[in-house]
A and B are shown apart, each in its own frame.
Chain A
Amino acid sequence: MTAVTSAPAGGATAVRRSKKRKSPSSLSWRDRVEITALSAPAVIMFLTFVILPVIMAAYYGFFKWKGFGVPTNFVGFDNYRTILTDPEFHNVLRHNAIVVVGSLALQGPFALLLALLLNKKMRGQSVIRVLIFIPYVISEVIAGTAWGLILQTDGAMNGLLRKLGLGALANDWISNPKTALTILLFILTWKYAGFAVIIFLAGMQGIPEELTEAAKVDGASYWQIQRKITIPLLGPTMRMWGFLSIIGSLQLFDLVYIIWGQYISSTAGTSTMATYMVVNGRMSGNYGYGNAVAVVLFLISLVIALTYQRFVLRRDTEGALTGSSR
């Protein structure tokens, strides 16, 4: 996924390089036919089903619209005014912010420690990897259904606590607004930490062994090597994981919607921008409003992503640039 940021740079240089060899005008008609024939299907699909819907969302967002017929009731920025002044939307923003920060703070260190522990050639490594990755592979619906059953009032979690003599700790985990958001963060950690572990392990395999071997010869301890070599060199991987994690946290929908349902999520304090969009848009028949929420969600993601790319990922991209044009 680092390719997302580094490859455009590499791509640009590759094209520039080849331009020197062969000017674009030297394309034969045959080349043109091939380029069109090979790229048209993907480009048309992509423009129709990815780009067009986003443009449609921006358009519908200016209407008060029930979702059928041609939208006629133009309301300008009214939907946006409503969104920005709705206290529920402010709550939703806060929940999303907590999920973003909580995911980074919980999953990152946990996955890093685990990856450091497993980063050696050892027996059983592939089995351990598969097992750690299992929660990530299970679908959101299955994970959500399972956790919903475990955490319900007469579910396994409370049953286990009573068995251990900790019955006083039994809780209404899902609907109690004091604990629900913490529970959500816990479930997200359970589900997505494995992905971070795999990404980190993959990144660690790219660290040249000479470095750690040389450090070992110089008498560095295991933890010194990790702290001074592995973790710094894992920087690009961790920053890229952070990017994916932030974007994912902003878009969070499935798990909340499945465990907390359409309406409980707002009273339990776990609603996100995406569940707010679906509940206040499609579910209440106000498509114009839902689309305006989608636009706000998109703009927030875009601004955060671009800021992150500009300030956090920039040095990685620069590294890739110098690396590929060497």
Chain B
Amino acid sequence: MTAAASSIKPLDPAAPASAGRRRPGRAAKAKPEWASPAVYLVAALVIAALLAPVVYVILGGFRNNSQITADPAGLPDPWVVDNYRVVLTSSGFWQQVGNSTIAAACGTLGTVTLGLMVSFVIARYPFKGGSALYMLFAAGLMFPMTVAITPLYILIKNLGMMNSLAGIIIPGIAFALPQTVIILVPFLRAIPKELEEAASLDGCGRMGFFWRVVVPLSAPGVVTTGILTFVGSWNSYMLPLFILTDHSKYTLPLGVQAFASEHSVNTAQVLAFTSLSMIPALVVFSLFERRIVGGLTGAVKG
């Protein structure tokens, strides 16, 4: 991975300097220093304010409804695990987790595969249409799903994909492609021409070059776009809202909304359901946070 990163970065104007400088710095000092206590104090206050609603939801799940009615802003007393137990043993919750997982996994795989293929063409084939193709996808960022949602609904209906996961996966891929292409093309373009020439001297065709050199070297970009697509798909709301009508096909966001309106009197259980459905995206994100920031850094530097 390090080899890939260093061979890709030199073409990125701002990257080599900072990367080169940072690494020896890190190696010399094993750990960065502590900042002043004031910095941590401010950070702690901001984080407390940002996380308060999240903490309220999680703690609320450990209370029962009479506790919530009597004192809406109180702490659990005593702690009740029943709400979480009920949600975790309900089949609806797990079905929605399953649906969301299938939709997000297939969507991510499809987006990354198609995005990598077309980005490779744009970045590495010297032909007239390349920049036009790039502009097409760049313009796609201007076509938000909000604008297209009603015709999209009609299109999906006519294709017979209503109320199926395919009906949200396929348009999801299409709408995630612009972001993917825009992040991946610079990565692929940065692969040195020499590598391609060396590969062809060794009797490796363009496709062989694609599989043996491009795919491994573009891994950092692929991971970034993959995570962004996954979290985006996992959280998507509007498309499933229009396409999925059957409860058994619901993804988690729709499930949360349905649960909240069906059990509106049972606030505690709604809170438990809500906090459990936050977990997957949070876990995926915190595991890969560095990668996302890294990928964004490249994109921001342009």
Contacts and interface: CB of A to CB of B under 8 A. Distances in A.
Interface of A: 1-8, 10-12, 14-15, 18-19, 21-22, 24, 27, 31, 34-35, 38-39, 41-43, 45-46, 48-54, 56-57, 60, 67, 114, 117-118, 120-126, 128-135, 137-143, 145-150, 154-160, 163, 190, 193-194, 198-199, 201-203, 205-206, 208-209, 236-237, 240, 247, 251, 253-254, 258, 274, 277-278, 281-282, 287, 290-291, 294-295, 297-298, 301-302, 305, 316, 320, 323-324
Contacts, number: 333
A124 B190 CA distance: 33
Given A134-B50, A323-B13, A46 B177 contact: yes
Contacts of A42: 114-115, 117-118, 177, 181
Given A11-B134, A156-B56, A208-B17, A287 B150 contact: yes
Interface stretch (B77-85, B138-146, B194-202): B138-146
B123 to A, nearest CB: 8
Given A57-B148, A135-B50, A2 B138 contact: no
Contacts of A290: 150
B53 A2 contact: no
A209 B18 contact: yes
A149 B235 contact: no
B138 A15 contact: no
B148 A202 contact: no
Interface string B243-286: 00000000011101100100000010011001001100110011
Interface string B115-154: 1011011100111111101111110111110111111111
Given A45-B114, A50-B175, A134-B54, A240 B69 contact: no
Contact of A31 (B51, B53, B125): B125
Contacts of A324: 13
B1 interface: no
Contacts of B72: 154-156, 158-160
A228 B144 CA distance: 37
B151 A60 contact: yes
A304 B97 CA distance: 39
Given A145-B270, A208-B17, A125 B32 contact: yes
A222 to B, nearest CB: 11
B150 to A, nearest CB: 5
Contacts of B136: 43, 46
A251 B175 CA distance: 15
A291 B152 CA distance: 11
B296 interface: yes
A206 B14 contact: yes
B296 A49 contact: no
10 shortest A-B CB distances, which residue pairs?
Answer: A159-B72, A139-B235, A49-B174, A56-B151, A159-B73, A53-B148, A6-B302, A122-B35, A53-B151, A42-B118
A174 B19 CA distance: 48
A24 B128 CA distance: 6
Contacts of A236: 300, 302
A15 B131 contact: yes
Given A39-B117, A117-B43, A156-B73, A4 B257 contact: no
A148 B270 CA distance: 12
A204 B40 CA distance: 19
B238 A254 contact: yes
A45 B174 contact: yes
B22 to A, nearest CB: 9
Interface string B284-302: 0110011011001101111
Nearest to A114: B46
A27 B128 CA distance: 10
B183 interface: yes
By size class, the interface of chain B is 35 or more
Name B's interface SS: helix
Given A35-B129, A139-B235, A240-B300, 14 more contacts: A3-B182, A10-B186, A11-B131, A15-B126, A21-B126, A31-B127, A38-B118, A39-B121, A39-B122, A57-B150, A133-B289, A141-B253, A163-B73, A198-B296
Interface of B: 13-14, 17-18, 21, 25, 31-35, 39-40, 42-43, 46-47, 49-51, 53-54, 56-57, 60, 69, 71-74, 114-115, 117-118, 120-122, 125-131, 133-138, 140-144, 146-155, 170-171, 173-175, 177-178, 181-183, 185-186, 189, 206-207, 231, 234-235, 237-238, 242, 252-254, 256-257, 260, 267, 270-271, 274, 277-278, 281-282, 285-286, 289-290, 292-293, 296-297, 299-302
A258 B261 CA distance: 11
16 contacts: A11-B185, A24-B128, A27-B126, A35-B129, A39-B133, A50-B143, A121-B25, A131-B51, A138-B282, A159-B74, A163-B71, A208-B18, A253-B238, A274-B146, A294-B148, A295-B147
